[in-house]
Chain A
């Protein structure tokens, strides 16, 4: 029995992939020193030519990873700050993602972007606190948001084996999660959701670290309301079959999602459920505001993120 931290799980997934497959390599800033956590010790073990500290030139090293992937490597890029993904949208969406279709299937780009520390960290302010997973899901890039150490390991391992580009968002607020792991860690299929807690009154779809808030609220409300906590784990492709099955049981839906409201993944879940699934009451979603920019002061920052109070209220509203 050992306590596995989320960051250590990512580190172990990278270690296992580098050890198992010589074509796996890692690019990123300060990864030799392991500043963000997941790459700690990798350069010492696998060498600076497989775990490559890159100059601060995100567009070039992301485009470079695309080229390396086309030439037979399986690169993983670590981004220390989620907003850096805005800089490389061109390389990821316009090049990597589109390559397979545009070439008529001649090749694809097996490339993984790992974003440890996505979302808000106290005091990191406007340019360091985004959680831009909805953008990638919208663009059609495979988009994963693990909530637990086991899922972090399994989804990152699956992403590295996948033939397409994949972005893995590791929420800052989940990095401190630890788990008593008594089972063998293994890849988890991309596109498979996980029901963390079964319930009969309402399905709460919670993304990333919000799974833990949803579980806490479900426990609080246990005497009053039976809450099913549904973790999609993968935002694109989304496990719609599992969601439909959950709504067959509960008929009611609340989505809690730490991204901006308009055109966010929460909107997609609500819309798809409304179009295609069994709903006994209007669904609710809890998100950041439209177009939100997180302010610096901790109280302001927290006030824009989904809260347990809002979740409790939404659950009570839909079951009324």
Chain B
């Protein structure tokens, strides 16, 4: 089985491999959306890979994350099996969540992935709570919460920054600023600045090039070390960009809110060639070949996995085993 191995993000090659895996996974997902194998579409992460890889490279297996509706990159970088994530996107029994969560709710608790989240900013207090619980239990765990620039205006994020700072909790707030909250540009939405949000609560904050994996890793590493040492939360603003639309539906809707020149300018700063340039060519070619095989196998696995039985549509609704009454009685 070549499908999966625990990602080793400690080396340049390992980080390149993960960037490439996320990119390839997202491209594959786009084709499956087009073919109809993925229903409901996805929020493509293409372009933002350096953030997930750089941040997760600073983490240990016991550390935890909360993610966003654009979460595939975070989930893969934290170690989720690509084929099981893909099976989740296609709504199959073999998926991470047995087809109950889909793209926006992918989770793997065994890996500390407390869930992608369909609600902007909702992961922040969950991360704060997980960090609080880890400290209560004297466990050495740092929690990262990823969120976009849209979440900068959610009250719950600001409340969470306050709690994390007051209680000096080991939380890293990672603002993945891709410039748009769906179609609304950050420059007409965010008063003050992202870093100013953190500064208001006395949280050390850094600005980092979100297209540069090594730069993200360096900044995240410093913040994670501080958090681990009991010095409280940190905040990173990673300036990045999504090459695709907010959601795969966008193209069909023919919405247009950004220029081709803007997209091209960001594509010119693609994190992949930058990471590739740090490796030797043969190493890279081997890695690319291996990933192509892995993704082909993931696709096969996902499409061969069974569709869930409708009779079990309410399975897992309650952990206590409570069964709900039927919605319609014949």
Cβ-neighbour of A163 out of B129, B314, B319 (below 8 A): B319
Q: Residue on A with the closest CB to B98?
A: A104
A59 touches B319 (CB 8 A): no
Q: A49-B136, A103-B105, A104-B97 are in contact. Are A60 and B125 (CB under 8 A)?
A: yes
Which residues of chain A have C-beta atoms less than 8 A from B325's C-beta?
A: 240
Q: Are A105 and B119 in contact (CB under 8 A)?
A: no
Is A62 positioned at the interface, with any CB of B under 8 Å from its CB? Answer: yes
Contact of A57 among B130, B131, B163 (CB under 8 A): B163
| Cross-chain contact A164 with B320 (CB below 8 angstroms) | yes
Contact with A along B156-185 (1 / 0, CB 8 A): 100110110010000000000000000000
Complexed CA–CA distance, A110 and B319 (Å):
9
Q: How many residues of A contact B (CB 8 A)?
A: 47
* Bound complex: CA A95 to CA B115 (Å): 10
> Are A71 and B316 touching (Cβ within 8 A)?
no
**In contact, B132 and A64 (Cβ under 8 angstroms):** yes
Chain B residues contacting A282 (CB-CB under 8 Å) are none
Given contacts A94-B119, A103-B100, A104-B98, contact A140 B317 (CB under 8 A): yes
CB-contact partner of B129 in A67, A105, A191, under 8 A: A67
Cβ contact within 8 Å between B316 and A67: no
Known: A104-B316, A107-B109. A71 touches B98 (CB 8 A): no
Contact of A63 (CB < 8 Å), options: B99, B108, B160? B160
* Interface membership of A69, Cβ < 8 A: yes
Residue contact A71 to B97, C-beta cutoff 8 Å? no
Q: A240 vs B325: C-alpha distance in the bound complex, in angstroms?
A: 10
Interface residues as binary, B292-330 with A (CB distance below 8 Å gives 1, 0 otherwise): 000000000000000000000011111110101100010
Interface size class of B (residues with CB under 8 A): 35 or more
Q: List the B residue with the shortest CB-CB distance to A107.
A: B109
Interface centre among A62, A64, A69, A105 (most CB of B within 10 A): A64
In the complex, the answer to whether A67 meets B127 with C-beta atoms within 8 Å is: yes
Q: Given A63-B124, A102-B105, A106-B109, is A70 in contact with B319 using a C-beta cutoff of 8 Å?
A: no
A67 vs B324: C-alpha distance when bound (angstroms) = 25
Q: Contacts A25-B136, A95-B122 given: A162-B320 contact, CB under 8 Å?
A: yes
Say if the beta carbon of B114 comes within 8 Å of chain A. yes
Residue A83 is within 8 A (CB to CB) of chain B in the complex: no
Q: Is the CB of B114 within 8 A of A90?
A: no
Point out the residues of chain B lying under 8 angstroms from A62, CB to CB: 125
Known: A163-B320, A237-B322. A95 touches B101 (CB 8 A): no
B192 part of interface (Cβ distance < 8 Å): no
Residue in chain A with minimal CB distance to B126: A67
Also in contact, A67 and B125, with CB within 8 A (given A104-B98, A104-B316):
yes
A-contacting residues, B120-145, CB 8 Å: 122, 124-134, 136-137, 143
From 70 to 104 in chain B, residues with beta carbon under 8 angstroms from any chain A beta carbon are: 95-101
Whether the pair A69, B320 counts as a contact (CB closer than 8 A) is no
A107–B108 alpha-carbon span in the complex (Å) = 10
Contact of A73 among B117, B136, B316 (CB under 8 A): B136
One digit per residue, 1 when the CB lies within 8 angstroms of any chain B CB and 0 when it does not, for chain A 231-242 equals 000000100100
A164 touches B107 (CB 8 A): no
Which chain A residues lie closer than 8 Å to B126 at the CB level?
63-64, 66-67, 70, 95
The smallest beta-carbon distance between B127 and chain A, in angstroms, is: 6
Closest chain A residue to B131 by CB distance? A67
For A63, the closest partner residue in chain B by CB is B125
CA distance A43 to B163 in the complex (A): 19
Inter-subunit contact A140/B324 (CB<8 Å): yes
Q: Is A72 an interface residue (CB 8 A)?
A: yes
Partner of B114, one of A67, A190, A237: A67
Docked-complex contact B97 and A106, CB < 8 angstroms = yes
B17, CB-defined interface residue at 8 Å:
no
Please state if B100 and A104 are interface contacts (CB–CB under 8 Å).
yes
Q: Is A68's CB under 8 angstroms from B129's CB?
A: yes
A99 on the B face (CB < 8 A): yes
- A75 vs B132: C-alpha distance when bound (angstroms): 12
- Given the known interface contacts A57-B162, A70-B114, the answer about A103 and B122 at a Cβ–Cβ threshold of 8 Å is no
Per-residue contact bits, chain A 23-59, to B (CB 8 Å; 1 contact, 0 not): 0010000000000000000000000011000110101
A275 interfacial by beta-carbon distance below 8 Å: yes
Q: Which of A68, A140, A191, A237 contacts B130 (CB 8 A)?
A: A68
For the complex formed, measure the closest distance between the CB of A153 and the CB atoms of chain B, giving whole angstroms: 20
Cβ contacts under 8 Å, B119 to chain A: 90, 94-95
Q: Is B155 at the interface (CB under 8 A from chain A)?
A: yes
Residue-wise, chain A 86-104 has the 8 Å CB interface mask toward B (1 for contact) of: 0000110011000111111
The 5 closest A-B pairs by CB, nearest first: A67-B129, A63-B125, A60-B159, A104-B98, A108-B319
User: B: which residues have CB within 8 A of A?
Assistant: 64, 66, 95-101, 105, 107-110, 114-115, 117, 119, 122, 124-134, 136-137, 143, 155-156, 159-160, 162-163, 166, 314-320, 322, 324-325, 329
